[in-house]
Amino acid sequence: MLSFQRVLPGIGNGIVAYSRVAVRCYATKTPEQMEKIANYQVNKAKYRDNVRKLRKQYSEEYADLQKQYDTIRAEKARANEEKMKLKAEEAREAKVGNIRYHWEHLCNAEIMKTMRQTRGVMNQLHRESEKRNHMRKMLDAHMVYLANPYKLEEVEKRVLEELQEVVPIERVFMAGPYDNFDAMTVPTMENYEENEVPDNKPVTKARVQELKKQWAESRQ
């Protein structure tokens, strides 16, 4: 590696030689060349002056543009921040709304459940009330039998009237109307056997009419 002391004399000698060559070249120039050189120097100075002015103008414009860019960037950042705040607020409101909705839905579900339970209890009470009313009506209808257990005539008369409403009494007792009830007028099994009325066959309408006719004749 070359040391600085060894390189320095060579550099100095080169500078001196270059200076001699430049001075010799400048001294040997003609007037036309000298005029060209002077014009070149003037144009060079003008060019550098224009370059300096343009650079100054460009720097000012760049500073102005940079200021505008900074302003736009700040406005954009502020707008983004406000947008994010709005989104966060909307998300918060949506969360609160969802909580409120779920709470209202839960309350509505509980209310509907309570209403169904209440309706079920009301229906049960209504059925029990209908059952009690039905039992009361049945007791009222049969109270005559319960209150008059020893008055067999009234009980039998009412039973016969009710049976007459359902089916003609002749189809039940094979006898006529019981205006003047007499147990001796009721046909017995011996009468059935005498008249050849089988037990396993229904009594026809013609047979009933015949029996009624016989009974009427016997009453006369």
* Domain layout of the chain by residue ranges: 41-118, 168-219
Q: Which one has a higher pLDDT value, 106 or 13?
A: 106
In whole angstroms, give the CA distance from residue 169 to residue 139.
Answer: 25
- The pLDDT value given to residue 176: 47
Highest-scoring range by mean pLDDT, 83-92, 165-174, 182-191, 195-204: 83-92
Q: Does the pLDDT of residue 163 top 80, yes or no?
A: no
Radius of gyration of the chain (CA): 68
Q: Which one has a higher pLDDT value, 19 or 122?
A: 122
Query: What's the mean pLDDT when you consider all of the chain?
Result: 72
- The pLDDT value given to residue 178: 47
Tell me if 156 sits within 8 A of 183, measured CB to CB.
no
In whole angstroms, give the CA distance from residue 182 to residue 204.
Answer: 25
- Note the pLDDT tens digit of each residue in 38-96: 888 888 888 888 888 888 888 888 888 888 888 898 898 898 899 898 888 888 887 77
Phi-psi group of 109: left, alpha or beta (phi > 0 → left; psi -120 to 50 → alpha; rest → beta) = alpha
- Note the pLDDT tens digit of each residue in 9-36: 556 556 656 566 555 555 566 778 788 8
pTM > 0.85? no
Q: Does the pLDDT of residue 155 top 80, yes or no?
A: no
